């Protein structure tokens, strides 16, 4: 199981780096290297989703958790980083249905869709590799 956790963590780092690099570079029209803490979010979420896959949870609860995990991690890390370092890693203040600029409905939906894809299509393949 430790191998699977490490593999999921590594997958989150690589894919997280690519997503963050592409999103920030396109948004700013120049190459932008993502901060490690931003990339680390993906790894934490991929590991939590893998751990969730180990439990036989009812489908409704599983779907709710798959949607809530990434948004909860985003809120905890974003708020925690702001409170400890005084730096906003991202700011959703100008978006509808946001909570203090740390999370918003639109990105929560994006994260939920990505998490569903990861949970149902990537985790089984990663588990198959080992």
Question: In the chain, where are the structural domains located?
Answer: 2-129
Instruction: Quote the CA–CA distance of 129 and 108 in Å, as a whole number.
Output: 30
> pTM, whole model, 2 decimals?
0.91
In the chain, at which residue ranges do the beta strands (DSSP E only) sit? 98-99, 103-104
CA-based R_g, the chain, Å: 15
- Supply the pLDDT for residue 130: 67
Structure tokens at 114: 């990505």
Residues 6+ apart with CB under 8 A from 21: 31, 32, 33, 34
Q: What is the pLDDT of residues 40-99, one digit of tens each?
A: 999 999 999 999 999 999 999 999 999 999 999 999 999 999 999 999 999 999 999 999
């Amino acid at each position: 199981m430790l191998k699977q956790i490490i593999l999921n963590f590594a997958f989150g780092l690589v894919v997280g780096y690519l997503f963050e690099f592409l999103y920030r570079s396109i948004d700013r029209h120049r190459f932008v290297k993502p901060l490690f803490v931003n990339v680390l979010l993906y790894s934490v979420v991929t590991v939590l989703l893998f751990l969730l896959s180990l439990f036989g949870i009812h489908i409704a609860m599983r779907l709710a958790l798959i949607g809530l995990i990434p948004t909860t991690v985003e809120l905890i890390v974003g708020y925690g980083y702001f409170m400890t370092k005084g730096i906003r890693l991202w700011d959703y203040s100008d978006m509808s249905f946001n909570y203090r600029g740390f999370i918003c409905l639109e990105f929560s939906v994006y994260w939920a869709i990505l998490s569903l894809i990861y949970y149902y299509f990537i985790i089984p393949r990663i588990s198959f590799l080992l």
